[in-house]
Amino acid sequence: MDTARPGLVEPKPEPPSWTLRVRQQIERRLPMDHLLPDRQPYYVGSWVYVFGVVTIAALGWVVVSGVVLAFMGPQWWHDSSLGRFVNSIHFWSVQAFFIFMVLHLWGQYFMAGWRQGRASTWLIGVVIFGVSILTAFTGYLSQQNFDGQYIAINAKDAMNAAGAGAFFNVLNFGQMYGLHVMLLPIGVIFLVAWHIVMVRMRGVVKPIDAEGATR
Amino acid sequence: MDSPATYLHWGFILISTPNLLVIGGMLVLFAIALVAPFPHGGKDEDGHG
C-alpha cells in the first residue's frame, strides 16, 4: 500500500515517445513568444541592432537573384540586359551582405555579445563569416568570364601552397560552381537559421552597464 | 570602370581608393547608428519598448 508522504517528490515519468520528448524540449527552450516576440527590451531601440536584420535581408536578395542566375545560365547573365541587371543585383547584394555583416560584427564586439551564455551564438557567427568568404570566392570563380579565369589561375598557387589544392581545385570549374550554387549556400542558410534561433532562445544581450549584466 | 583602381601608399599601408572609401563609409555608418535617435514605441512599466 502506497501512501503520499510529505516532502517526497515523485520523479516525473519519462514521456513514452521520442516525438513527445522533442516537442516538450522545444516548447521549453524556444516558446513561440521567444521565437516571434512582439516586444523587446528598451535597449534594443538602437540602429546598431538593425545591422543584423539588414544582413539577413541582403542574404535574401542574394539567394533570390542566385536562383534566377542558376536557372537562366551564363550566356543570359552576360549577354542580355535583364541578365546583367540580375547579375548586378546578385553582386551588389553580396557587397551589402558583407558590409552589414561586418557592421553587425563591430556592434556585437563592442557590446560583448558573447556574454551570459551566448558564446555559441557568437561562434556560429564566426563560422558564418568564414563560410561566406568561401562562398563569395567560389562565386568569383563561377562568373564564366576572363575575370573568373584570372582569379582561378592566380589563386591556384596559394591553394596548393596551403595544401588545399588536392581537394579544393580552383581550376576545376564544375567543383567551384557546384560548391557555389549548392553546398556552400545550404551551409550559410543553415548556419544563419541556427544563429537566429540561438538569438531568439537567449534574447538580446543586456548592455554592459545594465544591472547584473557585467559578467 | 574597366581601368585599374588607384592605390594609396603610406609606409607599409597600401590600399585602393575604392576599398578605403568603403571602409570609411562603414565607419561613418556605424557612428551614425550609435548616435541617431531610434523611433520608439510607447514604453510600458517593465521597461519594454
Question: What is the ipTM, given to two decimal places?
Answer: 0.80
Residue A31 counted as domain residue? no
Q: Which of residues 5-34 of B touch A (CB under 8 A)?
A: 22, 26, 29-30, 32-34
Inter-chain touch B47–A51, beta carbons under 8 Å: no
pLDDT of residue A103: 97
Q: Does residue A158 contact residue A137 with C-beta atoms inside 8 Å?
A: no
Same domain, A153 and A189: yes
Q: Grade residue A102 by pLDDT with cuts at 50, 70 and 90.
A: very high
The percent of residues above 90 in pLDDT, for chain A, comes to: 67
| pLDDT beyond 70 at A6 | no
Taking contacts as CB-CB distances below 8 angstroms, the residues of chain A near B34 are 46-48
Closest to A42 (Cβ–Cβ): which among B22, B36, B47?
A: B47
Residues 45-84, chain A, touching B (beta carbon < 8 A): 45-48, 50-51
% of chain A exceeding 70 in pLDDT: 93
Q: Residue B24: closest CA among chain A residues belongs to which residue? A: A99
C-alpha–C-alpha distance, residues A19 and A15, integer Å: 9
Q: Which of B2, B30, B46 has the most A C-beta neighbours within 10 Å, making it the best mutation to test the interface with A?
A: B30
- Whether A139 and A182 share a structural domain: yes
Q: How confident is the model at residue A201 (pLDDT cuts 50, 70, 90)?
A: confident
Structural domain for A67, as ranges: 48-111
- The whole model's pTM is what? 0.85
Domain contains A181: yes
CB < 8 Å from B in window 93-152 of A: 99, 102-103, 106-107
Query: Are residue A124 and residue A160 in the same domain, yes or no?
Result: yes
CATH number, domain at A166? 1.20.810.10
Q: Please indicate, yes or no, whether residues A78 and A128 belong to a single structural domain of this protein.
A: no
More confident residue, A41 or A87: A87
B5-45: pLDDT as tens digits? 999 999 999 999 999 999 999 999 999 999 999 887 655 54
pLDDT bin (cut points 50, 70, 90) of residue B48 is low
Tell me the per-residue pLDDT of A9-52, one tens digit each, with 9 for 90 and over: 777 777 788 999 989 888 888 888 787 888 778 778 889 889 99
Given this model, what pLDDT does residue A203 score?
A: 83
* Paired strand residues for A66: none
- Residue A14's pLDDT is 73
Residues of A in contact with B30 (CB under 8 A): 48, 103, 106-107
CA distances from A147 to A154, A174, A197, A212, B1 (A): 11, 17, 38, 53, 14
My answer on whether A99 and A165 are in the same domain is no
Closest CB from A39, A44, A102 relative to B26: A102
Residues A167 and A130 reside in one and the same domain: yes
Same domain? For A62 and A99 the reply is: yes
Higher pLDDT, B43 or A148: A148
Q: Is residue A33 part of a domain?
A: no
Residue B48: phi, psi to the nearest 5?
-85, 140
**Under 8 Å CB-to-CB from A147, ≥6 apart: which residues?**
A140
Average pLDDT score over residue span A123-145: 96
* Exposed / middle / buried, residue A178 (Cβ in 10 Å: 0-12, 13-18, 19+): middle
